[in-house]
Amino acid sequence: MEAARTERPTGWPGAPLARTGLLLLSTWVLAGAEITWGSTGGPGRLTAPASRSPALPPFLPRAVANQWPEELATARRPAALGRRPRPELLPQPRGVEMQVEVEGTSPEGARRVRGSPAPGKPGGSKRSRRAQPPSALERGDARATASAEGSKGSRPPAKGSREEGKVPRPGGPAAEELRLPSTSFALTGDSAHNQAMVHWSGHNSSVILILTKLYDFNLGSVTESSLWRSTDYGTTYEKLNDKVGLKTVLSYLYVNPTNKRKIMLLSDPEMESSILISSDEGATYQKYRLTFYIQSLLFHPKQEDWVLAYSLDQKLYSSMDFGRRWQLMHERITPNRFYWSVAGLDKEADLVHMEVRTADGYAHYLTCRIQECAETTRSGPFARSIDISSLVVQDEYIFIQVTTGGRASYYVSYRREAFAQIKLPKYSLPKDMHIISTDENQVFAAVQEWNQNDTYNLYISDTRGIYFTLAMENIKSSRGLMGNIIIELYEVAGIKGIFLANKKVDDQVKTYITYNKGRDWRLLQAPDVDLRGSPVHCLLPFCSLHLHLQLSENPYSSGRISSKETAPGLVVATGNIGPELSYTDIGVFISSDGGNTWRQIFDEEYNVWFLDWGGALVAMKHTPLPVRHLWVSFDEGHSWDKYGFTLLPLFVDGALVEAGVETHIMTVFGHFSLRSEWQLVKVDYKSIFGRRCTKEDYQTWHLLNQGEPCVMGERKIFKKRKPGAQCALGRDYSGSVVSEPCVCADWDFECDYGYERHGESQCVPAFWYNPASPSKDCSLGQSYLNSTGYRRIVSNNCTDGLRDKYSAKAQLCPGKAPRGLHVVTTDGRLVAEQGHNATFIILMEEGDLQRTNIQLDFGDGIAVSYANFSPIEDGIKHVYKSAGIFQVTAYAENNLGSDTAVLFLHVVCPVEHVHLRVPFVAIRNKEVNISAVVWPSQLGTLTYFWWFGNSTKPLITLDSSISFTFLAEGTNTITVQVAAGNALIQDTKDIAVHEYFQSQLLSFSPNLDFHNPDIPEWRQDIGNVIKKALVKVTSVPEDQVLVAVFPGLPTSAELFILPPKNLTERRKGHEGDLEQIVETLFNALNQNLVQFELKPGVQVIVYVTQLTLAPLVDSSAGHSSSAMLMLLSVVFVGLAVFLIYKFKRKIPWINIYAQVQHDKEQEMIGSVSQSENAPKITLSDFTEPEELLEKELDTRVLGGIATIANSESTKEIPNCTSV
């Protein structure tokens, strides 16, 4: 769940530039702040989701002016950040110089023409879609490309040059050209630098700071940097490298948002970890070494010296002296999920909200003070664990997300009250949710429901942010350059209640507008005439005006849509006229009355900036070609004057307007050629305003909604400058608004939670909602407000009229019996670990929370009771001391009835290892006994999944052993998986299946025991060595010999003599051939011919021990020799048993079978519970699946089956001990 905001003041501090010859701009994202740019839109208000990552939500908090540099850190170290990286874009190389088309300078092109077409060639080529603007101006020339490859290039002297913009001499074609006073300054010596960051203090300050960098994309670090400072609004700059240290490489520039005289510079961590601090607007610096690497900073909104620093190793540090000393606050902090306190809401100014991750992968919401953040002083406002990257603290609200059973639930705290679950319509079933806005005590949320893919539904809440109603369906969404979700929703600045949205209707995207916060929407009426004055034939609803609502992700361009608080009613946007939104045939449109009517001002894309409270508009063509002109309008775009602002055409990378509302100075960034230095052109507009405005220069205008004067419950009259008045308002101007309330009408009310609109105004209950059901907090004898189905729109100021009719009515709370009782665990799982806390939550859909008794029986002989729900809101904890399946029962009762809920909880010990015991060789069509040994042995219930051969469907048992018959010869793979709670482990073994075989036990010279580590890999390698030695000495075919070494000491093995794999050879021979091979092998073994060198000086001899219990076997009848051999074997075994019993002799192969029997005893699964009082669950209580095998299997070694493989050891396998 994510939240986002997009308010970005003009002259945003420290904004990064990327240099490119063709205006290739990378995404500029405000990271580390609560909001990510490039979102939905707004006066800088509505946003797209980004989890402070691109934020959102997963939930993201509000932007802070000082946090943008974190995104560049993301570009360098995405892994350390632990979230989706947002790197700066790599400059695009260019192999050839491009021919430059310079704009004409004829007198006709320079003069002012009222009502003329927009600048540019009519009918010229349209650019398909503008590249998303950037976070740093990145340079794409050959030199920049080389620098991206790690080449620094030559370094000219670090010296600036100044070029005054002068008016051309009279007499030439350019003599009549209008010119703006400008100066140009080249950052000489930085031509190799491919990134720049600019901060303009503004607000009566003439200081501009520029940090240029050479970012090596191969190394992922900054290799060179230069710091420049201007004290005269950008006329001249001084290079400050000697003041910060000639060898110091700087990576980021931060400006304190509460005191812009305080500057922080970070060195590149690849070189050193240090911070440089200035308290005089960057004139002088003090350097401090750090013991950690800063990834992002968060300044306190009120206290200028308080700073939070987030490190690359996900630790949070605090400083109370502007970065001179740091103190560790907490470890394992989720990236971008830490927030300062909000004044008026949090009791302590130094309180920090943070999301902390635990070692087991869960996240928790904690608060603590920066100087008192010990474990004993930390507080958990929400007792349960939350989803990772879901905490958002924004304005009066705190949001978190908790997923249980695969379904997400959202919680909100309003003004730091207890958390309450957010109520969306019952069947909205969100799969993604983003907080759009929390302005004016109301939450706007974009919800992607279960049946949506590229659209979202817009929901708006009541004041507390709990109950949400649908405002618009199917709003278009898309992915930003960095993967962030963009919701195409925009709030018009300066006038509350006006929103624009792009809605998907039958695979077409159309733009709608609302004047009452989403209650009513309508299409935009297209302009009556086009740029040439010809009528536009566009009939609603088949044709309308459609706008691109994405905010600029680059602070150095105006974006596709723009409006300002200081210029209410004025909206400039890129769009088109037609049946749907287009990305090709586009122009620029303007509205002067808050979106009621629109006019086209350009037929191509232009950047448009507001000057002097919106009294003038400045436009610059959005083009990859160099330009030297811009356009100025004093009559809201009706006519435009063309001005030259530089003598030579400039490849424009971006423009920065002076901070503040007066706005008379602009700095244009670019370069004159693809290999020149950065050029900073200062443009001063003061001269074209001429004079200060007087009373005669103003006029009033009325805000209307299709002729209706009441908007959001009041009539508003605004004052603005008359179109065409070339006068300056000045810094002391305050835009005056006259308003008076209106009588409440239908359009001032929206449907309340649980109600849906039918027709124009009627709200009726949804099929799932019971309007007669009061809140669970409503206790007998109290009263509650029963909704009429309507609620007044938040921030609507209407009075009287229908207000009483639609207002909720007070009623007495009726007594209700408990209904809809549920008991769940906090994490939604039905498994808990023995000895650990299991937390249960009891939920009730209906009833009286204050007068209902609650009892919870944990199923292990312990139960608790409560008089009401108040003590159990945060859950009931219990520790189980034994493993098993426990029936947890919740019982609720009051004087009107009762209800019961049951949950079956599996309490387990964590499983660590499973060992699969199978024979090495089996006989076709003969049943094989297979078992699995789990460590540690369990007292709880385990589920076993068995796969045989190439089967894709497992057999499932609750027993640790199974029998299986192989129908085909060859090597078969057996896999077992053991499930215990949410843990799943497996083991795999191979078994050879044949019609018949012979086997023989082997022993070794004693020196082998001294080198036996008793691990499976060693036994497998020794078996291969013995096999090779046998084949070498006897020339027996390799595929007819198999040697398996047993675990344990003394070291022993079993030799298997197998029939030929080739069926033709097998038919020619018979089982007697195996006896010949056995005789050959015996002769070699008895003559000590089979030896191998374990290591230099260690020679091991292989001996014959005696016949195995697995004689020659055949499925056919009439083999007397086989029967005789079987009889001799039985006699010999009887004799051996007698001798062992009599003389207690140690015989290796007998020892092996003893180990198998010993291991089998440890496979026993304990009872469900060790407590006699606990309810016992038997297998018959469960539904039996088709493949569930409950047959008790005999674990004895069967005749005709070779010895069990890989029995690990004879040591006791420990049980999970009781707590």
Q: What gap in Å lies between CA 747 and CA 713, rounded to an integer? A: 9
Residues 384 and 366 sit within 8 Å (Cβ to Cβ): no
Residues 912 and 934 sit within 8 Å (Cβ to Cβ): no
In 3-state terms, what secondary structure has residue 1033? Answer: helix
The pair of three-digit structure tokens given for residue 1009, joined into one six-digit string: 């025991």
Give a three-class secondary structure readout of 1104-1159.
Answer: EEEECCCCCCCCCCCCHHHHHHHHHHHHHHHHHHHHHHHHCCCCHHHHHHHHHHHH
pTM of the model: 0.69
Nearest Cα to Cα of residue 278 among 311, 301, 253, 258: 253
Per DSSP, 386 falls in state: B
Residue 340: count of CB within 10 angstroms of its CB:
23
The pair of three-digit structure tokens given for residue 355, joined into one six-digit string: 């999301």
Write the burial class of residue 180 (CB in 10 Å: 0-12 exposed, 13-18 middle, 19+ buried): buried
Q: What gap in Å lies between CA 23 and CA 40, rounded to an integer? A: 23
pLDDT in tens, 616-670: 999 999 998 999 999 999 999 999 999 999 999 999 988 888 766 566 888 998 9
Look over the chain and give the mean of its residue pLDDT values, rounded to a whole number: 76
Strand order in the sheet with 831-833: 831-833, 897-908, 884-894, 853-857, 863-866
List, in order, residues 6 or more apart from 483 with CB less than 8 Å away.
54, 84, 86
Q: Which helix (H) or strand (E) holds 1079?
A: helix 1072-1086
Q: What gap in Å lies between CA 61 and CA 799, rounded to an integer? A: 34
Q: Which helix (H) or strand (E) holds 1064?
A: helix 1063-1068
Q: What gap in Å lies between CA 538 and CA 526, rounded to an integer? A: 7
Instruction: Using alpha carbons only, give the angle 66, 324, 391 rounded to the nearest 5 degrees.
Output: 45
Write the burial class of residue 109 (CB in 10 Å: 0-12 exposed, 13-18 middle, 19+ buried): middle
Q: Which helix (H) or strand (E) holds 1048?
A: none
> Which pLDDT value is given to residue 1071?
59
The pair of three-digit structure tokens given for residue 828, joined into one six-digit string: 């939604």
| Cα distances (angstroms) measured from residue 1120 to each of 1000, 1071, 1076, 1106 | 21, 12, 17, 21
In 3-state terms, what secondary structure has residue 101? Answer: coil
Neighbouring-strand partners of residue 971? 992
Q: What gap in Å lies between CA 781 and CA 815, rounded to an integer? A: 9
pLDDT in tens, 852-863: 899 999 999 999
| Cα distances (angstroms) measured from residue 612 to each of 44, 204, 401, 688, 813 | 18, 15, 44, 12, 58
- Return the exposure string of 900-921: e unless at least 16 CB atoms fall within 10 Å of the residue's CB, then b: ebebebbbbbebeebbbbbbbb
List, in order, residues 6 or more apart from 663 with CB less than 8 Å away.
10, 609, 610, 611, 612, 613, 657
The pair of three-digit structure tokens given for residue 846, joined into one six-digit string: 């209906």
Residues 1031 and 1038 sit within 8 Å (Cβ to Cβ): yes
* Sign of the C-alpha dihedral computed for residues 465, 466, 470 and 473 taken in this order: positive
> Which pLDDT value is given to residue 1060?
81
Nearest Cα to Cα of residue 664 among 591, 607, 727, 720: 727
* Strand 853-857 with 863-866, pairing: antiparallel
Residues 628 and 648 sit within 8 Å (Cβ to Cβ): yes
Q: Which residues of the chain have pLDDT under 70?
A: 1-176, 202-204, 659-663, 731-732, 776-777, 938-940, 981-982, 1062-1072, 1106-1219
- Return the exposure string of 617-629: e unless at least 16 CB atoms fall within 10 Å of the residue's CB, then b: bbbbbbbebbbbb
Angle between helices 1016-1034 and 1072-1086 (to 10 degrees): 100
Per DSSP, 314 falls in state: S
In 3-state terms, what secondary structure has residue 31? Answer: coil
Nearest Cα to Cα of residue 262 among 300, 291, 225, 293: 300
